[in-house]
Chains A and B, each alone.
Chain A
Amino acid sequence: MDSALIPEGAKRCSFPKFYMGIAVVGAVVLWGLLAWGLIYWKGLNQTNMNDYYGFALWIWADLAVIAVGGGAFFTGLLKYIFKIDELKNIINFAVIIGFICYSSALLILAIDIGQPLRGWFIFWHANVHSMLTEVAFCLSFYFAVLTIEFIPNILENRQANKVSFFHHLAHNMHGIMVIFAATGAALSFFHQGSLGGVAGVMFGRPFSFREHLNIWPYTFFLFTWSAAAFWPCFTLLVTKITETITGKKLVGDKTVHLLSKIAGWMITSYIIAKIIDTIYWATVTAPSLGFKWTHFYSNNALYGKWMLFTELILCGVLPGVLLIMKSTRENSKLRLLAIILGVIGVCLNRWVMVLQVMAVPVMPFDTWALYIPSWQEMATTILPVAYGIILIALTYRYLPVFPQEQELNYPVEEEAVDEPVVAPAAEPVAATE
């Protein structure tokens, strides 16, 4: 039914099977929309946020998707500025993942602000002393950059590309993509950093407060660094999931090994910096504010030293080492283990920097304040995941996302196209399985 829209030569599942799958995920989207509607109708009392938790599940999800979605800016930087051409095989998918992550972050913020009709105030009545204003600016414009990077891929759809204007527009946008990529990299650097900076400047929260380099706390640099370090893990993980579902090899081993190697060195360098930062905080910063570091990991049911060990060693040092060593990096099972641990590690770091910060007692009369999100918060947090699955499914089906798909999956048919007299039936067609 939709074979005219499917990229030439690509094989996709049947139309009913595809949309049955979309309908299942669509049900989750509806559940999220119901919760969203309730929150807009009845207000933020639908959440379990309170005076302790002004930042809660949504802000963690926001920071986590922004961290793992940082792949788009870093891939763009490496591909267009540093000219690492091998990344052309995954740049489209990295952009799509980034687009999903950043649109999800904006969607979550749109739910979180409570009064959406006043959402534009942050641009018009900007508080120029606020790091979060910078985050809002950079996030919005970086999303615009991602949209611009995504548009040429959409215009390369088989039918859209037949329109001469779209064809030329896509070509011209590719031509000056370096400018958009450079703008995106600058914007992304600042907002990743500022998200970390917010935690680091909170003097009244000694668990997250850090020493500064000029006006920037160390967390500013650690957040940017960690986003740049862990994005390949998420990009590779989503690629692996897509390959498993489609039953096809979509990205060549050379590209996967290169990304894994980049991840390994970035994670290792980041985690060394993070461990040094943690030791300095535990031995100098926290005592100078009147606390022993063990205070932040005791007398509560959830946040123990195991969390620090999991974040730094299990999900930091281990994936870094596994991805640095060639033998483990090129072993598909160990590589998968490393990238899963990496994704968990960066998400755990954001959890600690948002939710553990809120949970820690800071007054002598305070106790630990633990928090369980309401179903409305959970549904609206799962909503972007379902939306992401749908968008990946649609782009995979209708757009030429993976330039290597043909050569990795149908090499015989490609050869046959060169010799139409011998194998006339093997000409590329938009076949459906």
Chain B
Amino acid sequence: MLPFCFEWVWDLGHVLFIGGLLFAPIGILGAGLTYCAVKAAYETINDSGESHH
């Protein structure tokens, strides 16, 4: 459910529930994965990453 669609109501329940348990995890996980992938691509191109971990 996105804000501004017909079912959305600007109340605490919707903001906490949908914002905190739907969009926040999507944002954190998406940003984390994007960071890892972009950094890995950069390291692969420049071959500057550590060779072991």
Contact = CB atoms under 8 A, between A and B. Distances in A.
B17 A173 contact: no
B36 A176 contact: yes
B48 to A, nearest CB: 9
Given A123-B1, A129-B13, A168 B44 contact: yes
B40 A176 contact: no
A373 B26 CA distance: 37
A168 B33 CA distance: 13
Contacts of A175: 36
Nearest to A176: B32
Given A141-B25, A179-B32, A183-B28, A168 B1 contact: no
Contacts of A144: 25, 29
Nearest to B52: A171
A433 to B, nearest CB: 28
Contacts of B40: 165, 168-169, 171-172
Contacts of B43: 164, 168, 172
A187 B25 CA distance: 9
Where chain A touches its partner, the secondary structure class is helix
If over half of B's interface residues share one DSSP class (helix, strand or loop), that class is named, otherwise mixed; here it is: helix
B21 to A, nearest CB: 4
B49 interface: yes
Given A165-B44, A168-B39, A173-B36, A141 B29 contact: yes
Given A168-B40, A168-B44, A148 B1 contact: no
A128 B13 contact: yes
B22 A179 contact: no
Interface string B17-31: 110011001101100
Nearest to A125: B7
Contacts of A183: 25, 28-29
A314 to B, nearest CB: 37
Contact of B41 (A137, A165, A187): A165
A128 B36 contact: no
Given A128-B13, A148-B33, A180-B29, 5 more contacts: A165-B40, A169-B36, A172-B36, A179-B32, A187-B25
Interface of A: 123-126, 128-129, 133-134, 137-138, 141, 144-145, 148, 164-165, 167-176, 179-180, 183, 187, 190
26 contacts: A123-B1, A125-B7, A126-B1, A126-B18, A126-B22, A128-B13, A128-B18, A129-B13, A141-B26, A145-B25, A145-B29, A148-B29, A148-B32, A164-B43, A169-B37, A170-B53, A172-B40, A172-B43, A173-B36, A179-B32, A180-B32, A183-B25, A183-B28, A183-B29, A187-B21, A190-B21
